[in-house]
Structure 1
């Protein structure tokens, strides 16, 4: 016989149980872990005293945890959304190629991400909520598939005691990213029930990628856990060559990720002088930058050589991190 699913509000105090703490985490937490256990006991007592409330009865606060479970108690899933963020783009990767990548939303839209914590607190395998939606400006936005690390997987099955933190991704009109919106999560196969949370995007983190006109010496660190670079322009020098000036830009890159990567200059570097764009010369030299693969922890340093008209003052060095994202350093 089909058993209806119900929701019990477990309260913000049970956060530690939903964060996927291991035995080691609990030992390190000391008294905080004990406080979390006490809170869980009180939540269970409250559930015994009151009948479980069916979903759709109230809008919860962001971070408030719920317990999805079947009527016979055979499946129990603790669940809560946290940490909303507004992003103009997503930084992803292609680890098999050793490349950084980015994804951009539609015109006049931004990405909104929300971390979703789920833990199987029952005695049998259970699926995570099948449908996650963000309701903003009179429209409903479904979770979109991207290459973001730890992206939410609907219908993922968790074994007893297993927990996960994954990110739901929504494409939301920019005009709605300063408003209060609602997040809903549906759980259950045949007669799903939905919990609802209020999300104030005006208070959400803003992840900006302001990498333009950086001062020389400023290090840019960008990427994912696997494909991640630290890059910087260290210095610039000029040599008079008659009608032209040779400009040498000292550049350094380090692989601070966990996998072998192609050199971050693989997509190209350019120099802007007097409003014109110049590509580097192909002639080598003892100090020339050598673009090659970088193992984790390896770094490369060298000079890029540009030739510009003698009357053109070097202004900017530009690095193409991805087809959609550049970093630039001011040379003056």
Structure 2
């Protein structure tokens, strides 16, 4: 068993869906024991290791979404190997990539590099935001979220842009009363429906940033994902009707909340990312192409790369997980891709 696989297994077996402390202890202890870097644990629980000025950093996160019933045995997360893949919660998102980054960071023969594992990525990037606001802003970063297989099966692609995410809550208010005496103008359900239909007519912005002479496409969306009234009785009009919007944002625009027609509140946001350094993106892709196919792609999901880019770090996303693996009941990662990612990360750090 190679070291990346062994470390991945250990990380996956360490639960981090409710409390990241134990996983953070494991990562911090390993980095202190295995590397000569300065290792810190900040107030949020992020683990950061630095050699010198850490101008280039590998960045991941060690929290996960809750495991499915089939991913737990005797109260602990499970990991198993089948057909050249590791199965278990966090194998793809993203403890496999985290293990590859840790080994690459240890073995890279270079200085002025860093490694960071954040908490709270699945909760809006709270760890990344805390770290950047408190001075962790390397010049360049590779976020090791999944990017494999976007352009073609098996390609270790480099995501040079991704959409952001904004969660919006809308609230329409009215007068609670008997349904038989209801007035349409006072029914908040109708007001909420009017706003929802307006959101359905929203023209999604699209942007095609050019990185290293090539264009990638990002298109925003706004989707209503839930509606709830303040009263469960079926013979009264409620005093309040609330709805939730999942918006995927792009740098060029987002839904104008003033036009929705009801009270709105942004309850969570992760910014989009576009790499601002074509030369850096090219270096990452060249390192990936030493091990096989690789293209520039745009990732549809928000990641901690958005917070790093917003703070001024030139950022790309490059990792072994394939699209559609994260958060699933059968989550898995290809062992060959893990080995490949460690080689790429080490080459990037040494370059």
Scaled by the length of structure 2, what TM-score is found? 0.24
Structure with max Cα Rg: 1
Larger relative strand fraction: 1
Larger relative helix fraction: 2
